[in-house]
A and B are shown apart, each in its own frame.
Chain A
Amino acid sequence: AQSVTQLDSQVPVFEEAPVELRCNYSSSVSVYLFWYVQYPNQGLQLLLKYLSGSTLVESINGFEAEFNKSQTSFHLRKPSVHISDTAEYFCAVTTMEGGSEKLVFGKGTKLTVNP
């Protein structure tokens, strides 16, 4: 069965600093990878996804993630964070079980951006 490991449960940073949220997944063929963001008392919003093609994917709000097959990683980065980026971030991978795909999530990383 697939598994996802988010290595840091909490990441505090100062505003305008760079940040990297780490994600590793168990090896499998043909994975799809996702990053979701959850703001307090909200559901999950898709931040970005890797399905195929270029290993570097970007979101509209400055985040990017790179799929590294050899290291089975999909780390999320942002060169300069804002206070509004404070949220919990979840890495997820799809796995084929029972003939359909389901999402397996990591435990989440709480990003706190301080002024």
Chain B
Amino acid sequence: KAGVTQTPRYLIKTRGQQVTLSCSPISGHRSVSWYQQTPGQGLQFLFEYFSETQRNKGNFPGRFSGRQFSNSRSEMNVSTLELGDSALYLCASSLADTEAFFGQGTRLTVV
């Protein structure tokens, strides 16, 4: 069974640009969550989607948004990028809300 797949693995963007990251969950998993990982703040929850609906949201500005498609694949978008958005973005999928399986992450660098 394939794991959680995140694309791209690495990304370099310029301040002010926008970026879209993709996550394909494990087959059959309908819940997808996104996390931002930085050295200073650690792992912070961004949002969670379940059956195409945002079920939970963390404390991030509106520049961070996401969506989920009918096949459970999810995308997150960050608009008007800032230097502080440089981070590892992790996606996790789960089946029963008691165990999350993580992808390898997308390393975003904003210059």
Residues of chain A whose beta carbon lies under 8 Å from any beta carbon of chain B: 32, 34, 36, 41-46, 49, 51, 90, 94, 97-108
Contacts and interface: CB of A to CB of B under 8 A. Distances in A.
Given A105-B42, A107-B42, 13 more contacts: A32-B98, A43-B102, A49-B98, A49-B99, A90-B43, A94-B97, A94-B98, A100-B97, A102-B45, A102-B56, A103-B33, A103-B100, A106-B42
Majority SS at the chain A contact face: strand
Secondary structure of the B contact surface, majority rule: strand
Interface in B65-92: 90, 92
Contact of B56 (A32, A45, A97): A97
B104 interface: yes
Given A100-B56, A103-B33, A105-B42, A46 B101 contact: yes
Nearest to A51: B98
Interface residues of B, number: 25
